[in-house]
Amino acid sequence: MQVVNNYSATSNREIQSNLELILKEHNWLIKQIDFEQLDTLVKEVIKANHIFFCAAGRSGFAMRAAAMRFMHLGLKVYFVGETTTPAIRKGDLLIAASGSGTTGSIVKAAEKSASVGATVIAISTQTESPLTRFSTHLVVLPAAEKQDFESSRSAQYAGSLFEQFLLLIFDAVFQGLWKSSGQAAEELWRRHANLE
């Protein structure tokens, strides 16, 4: 299938309007969240021996960013699928994100984690899915799914709102953990990558 390039220049006003739309959707989504679910996530993070993040595609990029910030806090953090990721065990935490809750590799990671007695937190748009069946806790982000093309929840393409909100949620969680830890910014900075 050949794609015809029929794009036209986007005006500054259109870009501003798009940004306003995205921010409006995020403000709407904030009001839909059960923050008790996030409180549970924070408690599980605090008591976990090791924290494993798991997601695919753009959600994976957002979760990698979250893993990096948690590492800056001094937590033992891994991203599932990297070659240096160890075995998950009882006492560890898997945080698995999938908008649909059906992504095969994410569901398998949750199933394996549950089978060894690790805690599994699913982050999804769905309350019932293959992923939630293996989860100890659930954080619902009621954004549009990737193939929900006619959604009233988001005018953005595919799962953009979910993926963006993952990054924002974990930055908010990180901010709270950082402040409660009493660590100075300079202390976190010493853990920042220096082989860039």
Please give the average per-residue pLDDT across 12-41, as a whole number: 94
Domains present along the chain, CATH in parentheses: 35-146+153-187 (3.40.50.10490)
Does the pLDDT of residue 61 top 60, yes or no? yes
The percentage of the chain sitting over the pLDDT mark of 90, rounded to a whole number, equals 84
**Positions of E strands within 103-165:** 119-124, 137-140
Name the amino acid, one letter, at 109. A
Q: Model confidence over 79-126: pLDDT tens digits? A: 999 999 999 999 999 999 999 999 999 999 999 999 999 999 999 999
Query: What local confidence, expressed as pLDDT, does residue 155 receive?
Result: 84
Does the pLDDT of residue 146 top 60, yes or no? no
pLDDT band at 148 (very low <50, low <70, confident <90, very high): low
**Catalytic residue ranges:** 163
Which tokens is 154 given? 């988001």
Which has more pLDDT, 11 or 48? 48
Query: What local confidence, expressed as pLDDT, does residue 159 receive?
Result: 86
How far apart CA 22 and CA 65 sit, in angstroms, is 20
Say if pTM beats, i.e. exceeds, 0.85.
yes
Query: What local confidence, expressed as pLDDT, does residue 44 receive?
Result: 98
Which has more pLDDT, 147 or 27? 27
How far apart CA 83 and CA 80 sit, in angstroms, is 9
Buried/exposed code over 163-188 (b: 16+ C-beta within 10 A; e: otherwise): bbbbbebbeebbeebbeeeeeeeeeb
pLDDT band at 158 (very low <50, low <70, confident <90, very high): confident
